Amino acid sequence: MEKLHHLIKAEQLTPSIVAELLTDAENFNQSFKAGVRNFENLKGVTVCSLFYEESTRTRFSFERAALLLGANVISTENAAKFSSAAKGESLEHTIKVISGAAQNHLGYADIIVLRHPENDAAERAARVSWVPIINAGSGSNEHPTQALLDAYTFQKLLGRLDHFTISFIGDLKFSRVVSSEAVLLSQCPGVKMFFVAPQGLEIRPELKSYLSQKGGEFEEASDIKAVVQDSDICYVVRVQKNRIKDSELLLTYQRNKDNFAVTDEVYKMSEQKGTFFCHPMPVDEEEQEIRQEIENLPRVKMLEQAGYGVPVRMAILAKVWQNQKI
Ligand code: NCD
Residue 19 lies in a domain: yes
Which pLDDT belongs to residue 225? 98
Strands 164-169 and 191-196: parallel
Based on the fold, state whether residues 131 and 228 are members of the same structural domain: no
Q: Is 143 tagged catalytic?
A: yes
Helix extents (H) in the chain: 15-33, 57-68, 79-82, 91-99, 121-128, 144-158, 176-185, 205-213, 224-227, 247-255, 264-269, 302-325
| Catalytic annotation, pick one of 33, 87, 105, 325 | 87
Task: Report helix, strand or coil for 143.
Answer: coil
Based on the fold, state whether residues 200 and 106 are members of the same structural domain: no
Residue 2 lies in a domain: no
Based on the fold, state whether residues 271 and 318 are members of the same structural domain: no
* Ligand 1: centre distance to CA 282 (Å): 7
Beta carbons of 52 and 45 less than 8 angstroms apart: no
Q: What is the pLDDT along the chain (326 residues), one digit of tens a residue?
A: 568 899 999 999 999 999 999 999 999 999 999 999 889 999 999 999 999 999 999 999 999 999 999 999 999 878 888 788 888 899 999 999 999 988 889 999 999 999 999 999 999 999 999 999 999 999 999 999 999 999 999 999 999 999 999 999 999 999 999 999 999 999 999 999 999 999 999 999 999 999 999 999 999 999 999 999 999 999 999 999 989 989 999 999 999 999 999 999 999 999 999 999 999 999 999 999 999 999 999 999 999 999 999 999 999 999 999 998 76
Based on the fold, state whether residues 118 and 164 are members of the same structural domain: no
Task: Report helix, strand or coil for 47.
Answer: strand
198 lines ligand 1 (CB under 6 A): no
The domain that holds 27 is classified in CATH as: 3.40.50.1370
Which pLDDT belongs to residue 136? 98
Which amino acid is it at 154?
F
Domain region containing 129: 10-143+307-325
Q: Which of 41, 49, 17, 33 is nearest to 151 (CA)?
A: 17
Strands 217-221 and 133-138: unpaired
Based on the fold, state whether residues 122 and 232 are members of the same structural domain: no
Based on the fold, state whether residues 86 and 22 are members of the same structural domain: yes
143 lines ligand 1 (CB under 6 A): yes
Rounded to 5 degrees, what angle do the CA atoms 196, 135, 4 make?
110
Q: Is 64 tagged catalytic?
A: no
Residue 3 lies in a domain: no
Pocket test for ligand 1, best of 59, 146, 289 (most atoms within 8 A of CB): 146
Based on the fold, state whether residues 185 and 276 are members of the same structural domain: yes
243 lines ligand 1 (CB under 6 A): no
* pTM as predicted: 0.97
Ligand 1 atom at minimal distance to the Cα of residue 176: 4
Which pLDDT belongs to residue 71? 98
Total domains present in the chain: 2
* Ligand 1: centre distance to CA 252 (Å): 22
